Structure 1
């Protein structure tokens, strides 16, 4: 049975000018309180948590999202990287610039499948039309939790129902694992893929040590390396202390929170993310741990699939390759391939280097 039942009741109104209808639109209104008063975004759970943090920041990728229709954007990233908070911050900024009813947010966690997702979007589109909204920003959070979700998006795009809108989908690594983000050929418009990574050391400095950050000039090319590195050496002692803290807590939001709180809680949250992603991909948790261990023992040396296979119970390079590809698509690991500089080509068959995306994962997986 669809999650939303019935049609809009256009005869009922409430004093703030929003249609007062059956449970379907009321559910959407509950997730979009700024339709009533745009100031209510400040009472949003994620925004309040963000404001309460000792160290908070606005992800710079929000400035890179093209909000001119039509666009189908996909925001990816590991769990607990702050994707939901990021889109709420985007909403907060856009409320200063546009009609609040033109911003639609929906968390898809409670949806069973693509049929219910279609019902949700079409309910909003009816409300949008009745509110005389021409262009909308539609944000569908954790969309991968609805089974066969690409069918809903393709169905609505192919019928021209989203042609005047910007659609932003967020999801965990499962979009990348299943390749679902590639199922919209010719349907993305101005849309792009974005990845929300944990903070790099330099980004971490900007948030936690802003005065030190301002003293360290960014190096834009190799020609600047010697000059700027030399000028930064007077801050080496402070940089080393900051780096030790960064290597201890990492750049994930929960890791940064743990600097003044419970590090064990952060570790368990990210360990749960890795285990869940492995099991959802129908892979063996024990083999995954063996492969991670083999990589960590040799990191940062170059590795081959054959070399890793010798250290685990399943002596199959193909199995190792499949697991490492999973780790890449769940954003736990990056692989640096051997490059032939003279030919400007990648040597996929050669040994490659692998690195975890965040220092906190080193402690989790060792």
Structure 2
């Protein structure tokens, strides 16, 4: 255990973590250091939560003794005894203090969902002020469901961490201003193409070989489905869950009801609903609803599901790569989510609008269209106008891969690279 603790805490030797991706969430985390509440980071596996911990540790080392910072990667099998008994964490903390000779002030618990009753340990140490600050990550939103949330009520704050946004990818490539973006347009377009087909997980972005990208993406997908979905939820119908996961990803952006999907798999509606919610809790997919001011109508209507990363969609289906339109729609959903649009809907009754988002209490209608041409132009604009009139929406945007046009004072066509660099949806 001493060896593992030393390996997981190289900062004890005053070594800064290096070769890290810059993340826009860092400054927000730094500002929240002054808050006493437990800080929980949630997000899909491999999105970069551990990297944010390392960036935060680098920051703390500017003013704090590096030996007062304890990081535990609870995904490591060395913590097998801890997984089954959270009280063993006290033993680990005591051992860290013995090694460093300094009582830990900052505790970082990575992948806490592996530890049964982790929340009891965290609550106890928080209430007794054992640490100045406690940080927790998890790859499952159920980390804060039920008894977990009840026990920690009023004691924690939460941030959601996603794979790299388009703007973060540009920043990590050395493009940080609009002028640099324009001057490096070919590179920008290539980065967009890579995001479209391989997503934006930090590790995947760093890999240049396409076959290796697919191999690593497949390992991510398998780990999410096997560990975060099947194992962590004690699922017995493993084949059904595996098949359903592939179905949901390859049908990203397609209307469905639990009943219709149940018929496809010769299963029952409750099982399908439960399994889809498992995928949502593991951040594999997100469900969005048909927009209506009536919650009852929203609940009864068919839904759509999108994946937070195009790479996961691609790796389970070769055919999907042929449909750039569907991939582009999923990519735009992911970027909207990363841009802090927490309320994202679609509209389909009878004209279709891909997304309706809420910003500053105002609704914005959005169409995702890889290329505007004579075949789809009328359909895309009519869909926008219909939903804008129905819900009194002032702004309509058609996001394309690389086309730009002003339709009128209420509707514009804008390229992906421009709107997600400026993040200007006004």
- TM-score w.r.t. the length of structure 1 is 0.71
CA–CA separation in structure 1 for the residues paired with 2:242 and 2:99: 49
Whether 1:120 and 2:92 are equivalent positions in the alignment is: yes
CA displacement 1:37-64 (0-9 Å, x = unmatched): 42x23xxxxx35xx2xxxx522222222
**Contact 1:278–1:285 (Cα < 8 Å) also in 2:** no
Q: Cα deviations across residues 35-91 of structure 1 (Å, max 9, x unaligned)?
A: 4x42x23xxxxx35xx2xxxx522222222211252211122222222222211211
Shift of 1:326: 0.8
Query: Could you tell me which of 254, 260, 284 is aligned with 1:307?
Result: 260
Instruction: Give matches, 1:56-95, under 5 Å.
Output: 57-65=21-29, 66-95=32-61
Residues of 2 paired with 1:95 and 1:148: CA distance?
30
Tell me how far apart the structure 2 counterparts of residues 353 and 215 of structure 1 sit (CA, whole Å). Answer: 37
Residues 1:251 and 2:205 are matched in the alignment: no
Aligned to 1:99: 65
Contact 1:177 1:329 in 2 (8 A): no
The match for 2:136 among 169, 193, 212 is 169
Where do 5+ consecutive residues of structure 1 fail to align?
4-22, 42-46, 218-231
Structure 1 or 2: more strand by fraction:
2
Cα displacement (A) at 1:198: 1.0
- TM alignment of 1:16-95, pairs within 5 A: 28=5, 31-35=8-12, 37-38=13-14, 40-41=15-16, 47-48=17-18, 51=19, 57-65=21-29, 66-95=32-61
Would the aligned equivalents of 1:337 and 1:351 in 2 still touch at CA under 8 Å?
yes
1:285-310: CA deviation from partner (whole Å, max 9, x where unpaired)? 32123323443454323221122222
Q: How far apart are the structure 2 equivalents of 1:122 and 1:235?
A: 52
CA contact (8 A) 1:157 1:187 kept: no
Do structure 1's residue 205 and structure 2's residue 170 form an aligned pair?
yes
CA RMSD of aligned residues (A): 3.4
Which residue does the alignment assign to 1:356? 307
Partner of 1:227: none
2:221 to 248, 271, 290: 271
Q: Which has the higher contact order (CA 8 A, sep 6+)?
A: 1
C-alpha distance in 2, partners of 1:248/1:298? 16
TM-score by length of 2: 0.62
* Count of paired positions: 305
Mark the CA change 1:173 to 1:238 in structure 2 (over 3 Å): closer, same or farther.
same
User: What stretches of structure 2 of length at least 5 have no aligned partner?
Assistant: 318-426
**Deviating 4+ runs (over 6 angstroms):** 125-128, 234-238
